[in-house]
Structure 1
Amino acid sequence: MGMFHALPQDGSSKTAEALSTELKAEKELISEFDPVNRRPILAHINIKYAHTPDSLVYLVPQLNGIFKFPVDEYQCAELQFYKFFRENGWSNTIQDRNNPYTYSMRTEGKNMWEYMAQFPDHMKAFNYAMQASPAQRLLSQLETTGDTPLIVDIGGGKGHTISQIKGYTGEGIKGRFILQERRIVLDDITEELPGIEREEHNFFTPQPIKNAVIYYLRRIFHDWPEAVCVEILRNISAGITDKSRQRVVITDDRKGCRCGGRLDGSDHDDIDGYGADREVVAEVTG
């Protein structure tokens, strides 16, 4: 809507009528702006609106993108979770072109990224939000080439997650994105995965990709006892050649996992599940 940029930055305020005219929105909609959130971030001065320190931060393009992108893309899908899963028999049938996002947005066969590409303002918000991403910032500091194994998604299913990660990293970061799975899973992939390499691999065998920047395992370890988890990590250690720059990143909901890692304190929100997983950066010693 543009509310944050329409308000004066000098501490003064504007009436709902003035905002309505400037933003070309009905006054009643302006008046209902605050209740969208759990707590107001805009101060009411009688019938006027003014910035607070909490709302001023959204004048920064990157932070505005962090606010706008989830609201535009995620909230509608979250509200349709019930209908989507009910119509799919309460089963986890999420696919690249059939998920709560494509269902709620009625994308007509397009996946999320293809649909968003039709709306430049949505892509602009996404790109700003990604500029604020610590992952992109850290990866951009690495000296990589197009031949560098950047991310290896081990046991990555049909490639939805690594495709999202590739979208998050942006075009300025060079490197290979590799999906590793069993042959039976790879043969079942019907979606195109632009820019994603596919490699047959079983994580109970030594890792064939050497010197990757990140080996990524998502929702793997909660399926296995601890001794098996250690075996999987030992197999990954076959690809570790430089501990100073390589990382094994584990995103899982396994509680009390003692897989030789440290919690980085962050939660990971994914598009298909919107759930918070525990993220571990493991130091594999072999």
Structure 2
Amino acid sequence: MASSTTYSTQIAADILGTIAASTEAVVQQRPGAREHVLALAYKLVSTLETPSETVQRMGWTEPARFAATQMAIDLKIFEKLEEAHNAPVSLVDLVVSTGGDAALIARTMKHLSATNIISEIGVDEYASTPISTALTIPKFRDGISYLYNVAGPSLHSIPAYLKKTGYENPGNIADGPFQFAHKTQNPFFIWLAERPEYAEQFNNYMSGYRQGKLSWCDEGFYPVAERIGQRLNSEPPLLVDVGGGLGHDLLELRTKHPELSGRLILQDQADVIKQVGNPEKGIELIVHDFFTPQPVKGAKAYYLHSVLHDWDDARCLKILNNIIPAMSPGYSKLLVNENVVPDVGAAWPITSMDWLMMALGAVKERTEKQWRGLLQQAGLEVTGIWTYEQGTESLIEAEVAI
């Protein structure tokens, strides 16, 4: 009988062969190729690691990386490296610019280098990397801070919270792991609204969450021009982005489909719309609470991106029931851009997001059956579900049931 080491080595060899065979597809930037190889790379690490190494990575390597990255953000270390334009920055310079203890800064830089956040050029000399450069940009930098200070404690509290509740599946948005961790009785979004610093970090992070991932408006995903490009006349808006944050989805749609004509409307709460500032040409801003009736009537499409997964079924139905009266039956479409959990072989970006939703709102990512049931209950008929690559968000299209 082959040993477990021999078995793991053979699996690793097979994975390496598959990765090698995928090189051309990655170089040519074929849709889905990068995601496929990335999934294989994670599987390769899991195959080659010993149990002890797995525990070490989960237990302190990644948590220490997260903590060191947050500290570097607080001290603006990544900005200091970026200002050097790829030239080495000495430990002495970092100590002077940050005011931190030399030994502490040295230990921080060592771990950031060992985990590929920055580059170690020589003895006590460091330089930026694409990752550290990205962490000087608000949508990535604030993602770390929001996740470290808000989401992280909520995730860490799940085992203790579930033990307290007798391992019941969380379902109360005002009494879940988030409330347990942050010692509050407020639901996540109410708590967030009372803390402008975290709210700004959250909104910035949402604007960059999907960057580099396949989008519903990419060629070969959802047939945008065919499904929503043809309109009855030029008067009604083309698309209303309901709860659309800072408008990154509308900008992407306009950039990737300049042939589409029609008004694009961004809706969100007043504090979010204020953060948008001056909108890009062709995008209208409307302050709107999606728990109230939709004011824009007869648009070709009403778009919800990562909105419904924040809420339980009852509140989702309230959101949908406020949109449906504004839709023109047989013409308007509801576009729901969300994760659809497959019955078998769900990828970690989806399963981990499901746990994050459990932690923050006592809610969940839904299966196809659950999505169809929810939309049908609201009086909508699903007319198609588009999924390009395992682990990416899907585009669910629905119309008013006639």
For normalisation by structure 1, the TM-score amounts to 0.55
Structure 2 equivalent of residue 185 of structure 1: none
Instruction: Give, as a single letter, the amino acid of the residue that structure 2 aligns with 1:125.
Output: Q
Preserved contact between residue 252 and residue 279 of structure 1 (Cα < 8 Å): yes
Structure 1 equivalent of residue 273 of structure 2: 171
CA distance in structure 2 between the partners assigned to 1:116 and 1:276 by the alignment: 21
State the secondary structure of the residue aligned to 2:89. Answer: strand
Alignment CA distance shift 1:15-1:250 (3 Å): closer
Preserved contact between residue 63 and residue 132 of structure 1 (Cα < 8 Å): yes
Preserved contact between residue 340 and residue 365 of structure 2 (Cα < 8 Å): no
Bigger-Rg structure (1/2): 2
CA distance in structure 2 between the partners assigned to 1:88 and 1:28 by the alignment: 44
CA distance in structure 1 between the partners assigned to 2:303 and 2:161 by the alignment: 33
Larger % of helix: which?
A: 2
Instruction: Give, as a single letter, the amino acid of the residue that structure 2 aligns with 1:174.
Output: I
Preserved contact between residue 116 and residue 123 of structure 1 (Cα < 8 Å): yes
CA distance in structure 2 between the partners assigned to 1:124 and 1:73 by the alignment: 12
State the secondary structure of the residue aligned to 1:130. Answer: helix
Structure 1 equivalent of residue 277 of structure 2: none
Preserved contact between residue 130 and residue 168 of structure 1 (Cα < 8 Å): no
Preserved contact between residue 80 and residue 94 of structure 2 (Cα < 8 Å): yes
Query: How much has 1:137 moved relative to structure 2?
Result: 2.2
Match of 1:213 among 302, 321, 328: 302
Q: Residues 108-135 of structure 1: CA distance to partner in whole angstroms, max 9, x if unpaired?
A: 3344344445654433322322343665
Preserved contact between residue 34 and residue 41 of structure 1 (Cα < 8 Å): no
Preserved contact between residue 144 and residue 175 of structure 1 (Cα < 8 Å): no
Instruction: Give, as a single letter, the amino acid of the residue that structure 1 aligns with 2:86.
Output: G
Instruction: Give, as a single letter, the amino acid of the residue that structure 1 aligns with 2:119.
Output: A
Preserved contact between residue 217 and residue 249 of structure 1 (Cα < 8 Å): no
Alignment CA distance shift 1:9-1:75 (3 Å): farther
Instruction: Give, as a single letter, the amino acid of the residue that structure 2 aligns with 1:171.
Output: I
CA distance in structure 2 between the partners assigned to 1:109 and 1:12 by the alignment: 49
Preserved contact between residue 130 and residue 169 of structure 1 (Cα < 8 Å): no
For normalisation by structure 2, the TM-score amounts to 0.41
Match of 1:129 among 196, 205, 208: 205
Alignment CA distance shift 1:282-1:53 (3 Å): closer
Structure 2 equivalent of residue 6 of structure 1: 80
Match runs of 1:145-160 below 5 Å: none
Query: How much has 1:213 moved relative to structure 2?
Result: 0.9
Instruction: Give, as a single letter, the amino acid of the residue that structure 2 aligns with 1:109.
Output: Q
Instruction: Give, as a single letter, the amino acid of the residue that structure 1 aligns with 2:198.
Output: H
Preserved contact between residue 334 and residue 398 of structure 2 (Cα < 8 Å): no
Structure 1 equivalent of residue 149 of structure 2: 72
Preserved contact between residue 178 and residue 188 of structure 2 (Cα < 8 Å): yes
Q: CA RMSD in A?
A: 4.6
Alignment CA distance shift 1:217-1:96 (3 Å): closer
Identity of aligned residues (%): 15
Larger % of strand: which?
A: 1
Alignment CA distance shift 1:197-1:124 (3 Å): closer
Alignment CA distance shift 1:175-1:127 (3 Å): closer
Instruction: Give, as a single letter, the amino acid of the residue that structure 2 aligns with 1:272.
Output: M
Query: How much has 1:210 moved relative to structure 2?
Result: 7.5
Structure 2 equivalent of residue 157 of structure 1: none
CA distance in structure 2 between the partners assigned to 1:82 and 1:217 by the alignment: 25
Match runs of 1:48-87 below 5 Å: 48-87=125-164
CA distance in structure 2 between the partners assigned to 1:175 and 1:241 by the alignment: 25
The answer for unaligned runs of 5 or more in structure 1 is: 151-165, 179-195, 199-208, 220-235, 257-265
Instruction: Give, as a single letter, the amino acid of the residue that structure 2 aligns with 1:72.
Output: N
Alignment CA distance shift 1:168-1:105 (3 Å): farther
Query: How much has 1:40 moved relative to structure 2?
Result: 1.7
What number of residue pairs does the alignment pair up?
216
Of residues 269-278 and 65-74 in structure 1, the stretch that sits farther from structure 2 once superposed is 269-278
CA distance in structure 2 between the partners assigned to 1:92 and 1:37 by the alignment: 40
Structure 2 equivalent of residue 273 of structure 1: 358
CA distance in structure 2 between the partners assigned to 1:73 and 1:10 by the alignment: 33
Alignment CA distance shift 1:250-1:171 (3 Å): same
The answer for unaligned runs of 5 or more in structure 2 is: 1-73, 211-243, 255-262, 275-284, 311-323, 367-391
